Structure 1
Amino acid sequence: MTDTHDPGHGNSPAAWVAVIIMLIAFTIGTFAFWFELPWLVWASAGLLVLGLITGAVLAKLGYGVKGPKYAPKAHS
């Protein structure tokens, strides 16, 4: 039986940084919405977009899954 699963898909420094920034943005935005702070909701939306851009820039700099600066870890 052949394992066709790609364990490295999305498991890169670029992806991790982007996801962490976006999770922080969602958390801040959720609390800001709950406490009725519209300016902070919009600021967290901006942070969400910044996380997406950061992930794309890091991938272009070589920290993506197929980038030269990415060293995949062995999976057991």
Structure 2
Amino acid sequence: MSDMSTEPGHGHSPAAWTAVVVMLVATALGTLFFWLDMPVLVWASVGLLLIGAIVGFIMSKAGYGAYGDKYSAKEH
């Protein structure tokens, strides 16, 4: 068995949560705009999806990722 205290907490960092929330909102909006036949806004939501990935990467590099110095894993 692995020691749970050495696990970095995959996906539990502020960077991961922020990226996922932004990307989920972009996907929901893109689906809505596709259904409403608004192609410009569909492409805008694709841009928001990419921005979500970039924000997560930047936050990770700023120390808010699973291995960052500004993140402390919580015990479960």
Deviation at 1:11, TM superposition (A): 1.0
By how many angstroms is 1:3 displaced? 3.3
Q: How does 1:1-76 map to 2 (within 5 A)?
A: 2-3=1-2, 6=7, 8-75=9-76
DSSP 3-state at the match of 1:36: coil
Letter paired with 1:32: F
Q: CA RMSD in A?
A: 1.4
Unaligned runs of 5+ residues in structure 1 are: none
TM-score (structure 1 length as normaliser): 0.91
In the TM superposition, structure 1's runs of 4+ consecutive aligned residues that sit over 2 Å from their partners are 3-7
Identity between Structure 1 and Structure 2 (%): 53
SS at match of 2:67: coil
Unpaired stretches in structure 2, ≥5 consecutive residues: none
Q: Report the CA distance between 1:13 and its aligned residue.
A: 0.1
Cα distance in 1 between the residues matched to 2:8 and 2:67: 13
